[in-house]
Structure 1
């Protein structure tokens, strides 16, 4: 038997196509069982379809410029569902994938087409395939929080989807506390109270103002809206003796809120409150101002201590007093100088203006008595104080739940305000209030003369500066109290 191939047979075999064309997609490349580095092309890679980020990443253009000039420094990790032929992003990286596709279409540069990624095995099992989806979803939630902060509503929708997946695994309904415990065990810690506000936002706010929420409404405004709804509902139930059927109130709240969905950039709480109380006043036949008293946060706090506000007595005009005799006194000669005008009684009593005007050093409104709201106030106060001495660029926002709302950049001799001792003293004070350890040089700058000395040739803090500083101290003290209470609740 002659095993040699003839020339026609050899030519036929050399011209054959890819040996794997006849195989099924899942047979072409089995999934590795351990984390493995591999090269994939854009046509093999798709974004994660349950990615919690729904809106464009606010840093999209900056990330694209970086990838265009430097290439992809950090390729996204990938994985693959057992029943799919393509790869998906395992956790984070959907923005980078979108940018790579854009750059490939614009340039056809090979470095944007082929990328080396770390493959992670699918987290599910044949018995519990949903575990793989949970692993991906939580990974995306964590990565988005770390690198490109999600909006409140995006995070709420992601947490809600995670709850659905957990309930498929557990085959039972999960309470908010149980959900918080599951997420914590899987590496995404979140408070039960935060989950509660997310669920209320999905139920009561999202159907009415989707444009506003997707435009980036933050947690402080969401909490104010939910507080407004709770206070108004309480007043409604007290007047109607509701037995739990609050459909009429829900319709009023939806009608009032939906009016303000079209202009997300101009959204404010006060017009919503005004519209809601107007509708309630008509429906309940109650004076608008009485409803306003019940819904006002400071009045709510007073009622918690002293009881509900009594109905006002009927107005009785006072009797006209008898005219008192005029006492004629000799006045000193003041020439033609006009008498000083008295300040109008309804003028706003601002102690000082700025990004965070101060009307009261100590009082904190109940609407803003949360760590996140107070951190935002702290950041604005610190910025105002730094701006007094031209060093506002040294203040950066800090959203760490254990922080005070701001942090200080390193202040080096190259800064134009560095030679000024008052600038260094201001920054040392802000650093101390943020909890940063001070250097010996910084400590030496914070002397009592800054607060008391008023000599012409010596530097000291102005009255307006001190008002802002005292207000910042009060805000930071309250932040620390709330953080301590949260830790105590978590321990228990």
Structure 2
């Protein structure tokens, strides 16, 4: 962009020249592109999803103090406002720059290298911040839940006379590069509207979605038990649950303490044993429904351990985890000759490959692009290239990480080497990817998906991935090899669909 020379002065005044570059005053609109601006022109984004303390704060501050910003801030500006706000992440770095300038008055912190992007709409900015935090895996559940509730309100304000359902919200978020399920959003609503007023310490200490789901299940089971024994109005039951949650709210949340207290309430109200109440609550929590257990009078002596039919002792550990369906592990071990192999190992291996690819895609804003191929190929396919808006809303390092992961998934799906006639039916119509595959021209992809120097893969992606994602990527590559080995042993063509499968229709 062009800019007139500006007078020198304090960074919190009008403007100046720093290292030969113009520093914009607040009144001067910025065109899209790189610029340098006074720190005073920048303000944190008001809807920043992160509410709590960043555990990496001091490390980031030390790095900026010694080396400066390693990446420019991506910023935008609302129409009619003089200040700029971070467009994608950057709130922590901005706060650190403000602290360092106040502490040192050092010119290095008084001006900021930025990349300006024109304003679109509020929901676009909030989604960009949410997506950036999700990719970095740095948000606790309640912070993400609050941000999603803010997003719902903003989207509704941008489209008057429309109330978004949770399914509608999930669809919009997924279309814009942040894959999420409406059932997860329903848990977020419960956490924000029901639990946050009751257990703020536990939630802000990092209480996660699994614990929130268990709390909701416990409240529903307690209400059902209360109703079955006709212990009073539903409002009284809700008040007791709320009071006990508040009593046990702590950063070291213990669900078992709350459950025992709820069971005591029912036992005292019905003048029966705690053991009988626990059996009924267990039945409700297990999903088997209400069990008509004969309510025993309170014991006058030591109560013997209950036994199940067949003489098996009732489990005495109240914190024993619930049994779960055994599905193929995301970090699947290579198939061993000593492990029983399914009748058709390709079915299981393809399912494992899809599960791993979909999980990685969800963590990096690519969930909508990963579709299953249960009957052919490597178990999954990508339907298009990453959304173009990611280039504008992610900082360069994070955008490079997402692009690298897309190429890794493309390699594991054999996107550019599989028979085009088998790949094309799964691709988005009129998409960049469909054009590249139909024309057999990888150059089309290289023009639309950033491709790093092969020597930078380790630095750009492998070192940057979270530990769990790195393990999943390794497991996906191991599964890729296992699928080929299984097909070679059986003398099968991986890309020839099974007879009678949907791919043959």
TM-score, normalising length: structure 1: 0.56
Equivalent-residue separation in structure 1 for 2:240 and 2:478 (angstroms):
53
- Taking CA–CA contacts closer than 8 Å with sequence separation of 6 or more, which of the two structures ends up with the larger relative contact order? 2
Equivalent-residue separation in structure 2 for 1:370 and 1:106 (angstroms):
55
1:152 is displaced (CA, Å) by: 0.5
Equivalent-residue separation in structure 2 for 1:79 and 1:439 (angstroms):
42
Structure of larger gyration radius:
1
Deviation per residue, 1:18-61 (Å, 9 max, x gap): 999xxxx99931343xx321111211101001111101111112
Correspondent of 1:178 among 155, 163, 168: 168
Alignment of 1:96-111 (within 5 A): 96-111=93-108
Equivalent-residue separation in structure 1 for 2:199 and 2:224 (angstroms):
22
Contact 1:58–1:148 (Cα < 8 Å) also in 2: no
Equivalent-residue separation in structure 2 for 1:217 and 1:370 (angstroms):
25
Aligned to 2:478, the other structure's residue is in SS state: coil
The answer for the alignment partner of 1:30 in structure 2 is 29
The answer for the alignment partner of 1:417 in structure 2 is none
Answering whether residue 258 of structure 2 is matched by residue 301 of structure 1, we say no
The answer for the alignment partner of 1:94 in structure 2 is 91
Deviation per residue, 1:362-387 (Å, 9 max, x gap): xx715x6799xx98x99xxxxxxxxx
Segments of structure 2 that go 5 or more residues without pairing to the other structure are: 1-6, 8-12, 16-23, 300-312, 333-355, 361-470, 482-505
Correspondent of 2:246 among 254, 258, 261: 258
The answer for the alignment partner of 2:268 in structure 1 is 282
Contact 2:37–2:112 (Cα < 8 Å) also in 1: yes
Segments of structure 1 that go 5 or more residues without pairing to the other structure are: 1-13, 124-131, 317-344, 350-356, 379-398, 404-429, 441-492
Contact 1:46–1:88 (Cα < 8 Å) also in 2: yes
The answer for the alignment partner of 2:53 in structure 1 is 56
Contact 1:51–1:140 (Cα < 8 Å) also in 2: yes
Aligned Cα root-mean-square deviation (Å): 4.4
Equivalent-residue separation in structure 2 for 1:315 and 1:278 (angstroms):
12
Deviation per residue, 1:84-126 (Å, 9 max, x gap): 1111111201001111112222333222221211111111xxx
Deviation per residue, 1:317-342 (Å, 9 max, x gap): xxxxxxxxxxxxxxxxxxxxxxxxxx
The answer for the alignment partner of 2:67 in structure 1 is 70
Cα 1:166–1:193 shift into 2, 3 Å: same
The answer for the alignment partner of 2:258 in structure 1 is 272
The answer for the alignment partner of 2:385 in structure 1 is none
Cα 1:438–1:147 shift into 2, 3 Å: closer
Alignment of 1:289-368 (within 5 A): 289-296=275-282, 300-301=285-286, 303-304=288-289, 308-311=291-294, 365-366=322-323
Contact 2:357–2:476 (Cα < 8 Å) also in 1: no
The answer for the alignment partner of 2:82 in structure 1 is 85
Correspondent of 2:179 among 170, 173, 189: 189
Contact 1:91–1:139 (Cα < 8 Å) also in 2: yes
The answer for the alignment partner of 2:210 in structure 1 is 220
TM-score, normalising length: structure 2: 0.55
Contact 2:280–2:293 (Cα < 8 Å) also in 1: no
Aligned to 1:118, the other structure's residue is in SS state: strand
1:141 is displaced (CA, Å) by: 0.7
Correspondent of 1:139 among 128, 137, 145: 128
1:172 is displaced (CA, Å) by: 2.3
Contact 1:252–1:280 (Cα < 8 Å) also in 2: no
Equivalent-residue separation in structure 1 for 2:237 and 2:292 (angstroms):
22
Equivalent-residue separation in structure 2 for 1:213 and 1:292 (angstroms):
26
Deviation per residue, 1:58-81 (Å, 9 max, x gap): 111221222222221112211111
